[in-house]
Structures are given as C-alpha cells and as structure tokens.
Amino acid sequence: MKKLLSTKYSDTSFQLSMLVLRISLGWMMLPHGYDRLLHFSGYQSGFMGQTGWVAYLLGVYIIFAEFFCSVFILLGLFTRYCSLALIIATLLTLFLVYKGQTGGRGETLALFFTGYLVLLLLGPGKLSLDKLLGK
C-alpha cells in the first residue's frame, strides 16, 4: 500500500508509461484515418463544413495526420512532429465540426488532444525508433 501511494517513480515505469501512451493513442486514432483514407471521396464533399479546395486540402491533411502520423506514433518514429500534426488536426476538427465544445461528442477529441500534447512535451521515450535511431 505504501508503494501505491508513493509519488516516486522509476525510469523503467516512466518509459513503459510512455510506450503505453504512444501505442494506445496511435492504435485508437488509426481506424479513424483508415476509414477516411478508404472513403476519401465521400468525405471530400463538404468536409468539415468547407467546400472546394479548402475541403480537399483539409481532407488530405486530416487523413495524413490521422492515418500516417498514427502509424509513425505507433512505431515511435518522428513522434514529436506527428504529435504536433495530430494536435493541429484535433483542434481543427474540434473547432470546425464541434464548435469548440469539449463535452459530448467533442470530449473524445479533447482527450486525444491532451494525449498528443503529453507526447509532444515528453517525447516518445526510450522504447521507440526515435531513440534507436538516435533522434
């Protein structure tokens, strides 16, 4: 019980926590990006309430962030850059689609935003390809 209430932590527990955070965020966002990648033409018309080139560019960016950046985060490769891309994508969706409401349907996006912010600030951890490649 004493250890459970302790505020001390080991480097190993911190690194495992970062691995769990990275894998869970990447794994949970991946289906969203994969669905948009498969059905891009359906999402393109009126994407996020926009039309024309704006809808197309937003669609490409959101697919890139949600699918490809999620894969990179799962691997721990370019983690901070991908976290930043996903933070921007999350904020765009939160404000353009859900009008900034962090309750209800926007609550999931707010949680994703928080997780990506933690990854941006702390990095991928030692159990990542970034660390293995020396970045």
Tokens of 119: 């990854």
* Cβ–Cβ < 8 Å for 35, 43: no
If you ran DSSP here, which 8-state letter would residue 73 be given?
Answer: H
| Length, in residues, of the chain | 135
Q: How far apart are CA 5 and CA 59, in angstroms?
A: 46
- Confidence (pLDDT) at 91: 94
- Confidence (pLDDT) at 42: 74
Domain boundaries, the chain: 11-130
Tokens of 35: 């669905």
Higher-pLDDT residue of 29, 52? 29
- Confidence (pLDDT) at 57: 86
* Cβ–Cβ < 8 Å for 72, 33: no
Whole-model pTM?
0.88
User: pLDDT confidence of 69, banded at 50, 70, 90?
Assistant: very high
